[in-house]
Copies of this chain bind each other. A is one copy, B any other.
Amino acid sequence: MTRHVPHLYLPGPYEPGRIGVVESTRLHLEKVLRNLGPVAVTYTDGEGLSGSGVYFGGWIERGAEEIQERGHPVTIAVSPPKNKSRARFVVEKLAEMGVARLLWLATARTEGRMPRVEKSALWAQAALEQSRGSWLMEVSGPVAVSDMGRFGSVLLADPHGVGIDDIVVPEDAILCVGPEGGFAPDELPEVVGKLRLARNLLRVETAALVGAALLTHKASS
């Protein structure tokens, strides 16, 4: 059961031979492992590199490493849900699923407070470690509806749209999940298509997750 080997996010670039870990990681490891002797760990730089090494006294001896190719990068723009735990959930789940980038979308009818990007990044790092991934999800925002076009072609999650098999997904697609109250008439985004994710009306966080699952699947097939 490899799950008891801790998987650590350690930003690169690395020096040859060994990697120094920051104090907070050291304390966490020594507390969790309750073991001050050498211990096997895996690590990633969040940019595709992952390796197996040995941790001891604040340093990791680098061992076998490999580069995991990134799949087609999926970007999701989401108007934050009302409740903070649901916002955290969006970050955590999308990061586990290997989404490349999350944009927090600021709209006139956004009900939730805008999550801090620094906090979101920490949630994404924890999910990267938890899911033993090699690519860290990037989180940006707040992004205004009118600025989304700078990041790619907007595909709108819309109950009146079409199914994913009936739509062309551009290479640079951003799946945009608006607020539950809808966009205000004067801020409607320019979109290249409208995608229906389910029969029922989905909450913001559910739409983001289902959309991410379908786009990731479509991109890889």
- Measured CB to CB, the residues of A under 8 A from B are 1, 3, 68, 71, 85, 89, 93, 96-98, 130-133, 163-165, 180-182, 198-203, 206, 209-210, 213-214, 216-217, 220-221
Q: Which residues of B contact A221 (CB under 8 A)?
A: 163, 165
Q: How far is the CB of A24 from chain B (nearest CB, A)?
A: 23
Task: Evaluate contact between B217 and A131: CB separation under 8 angstroms.
Answer: no
Q: How many angstroms between the C-alpha atoms of A198 and B52 in the bound complex?
A: 21
Task: Evaluate contact between B202 and A131: CB separation under 8 angstroms.
Answer: yes
Task: Evaluate contact between B96 and A202: CB separation under 8 angstroms.
Answer: yes
Task: Evaluate contact between B133 and A199: CB separation under 8 angstroms.
Answer: yes
> Which 8 A-B pairs give the minimum distances between C-beta atoms?
A131-B200, A213-B213, A133-B200, A210-B213, A132-B201, A96-B206, A131-B201, A165-B221
Of B98, B201, B203, B210, which contacts A198 at CB under 8 A? Answer: B98
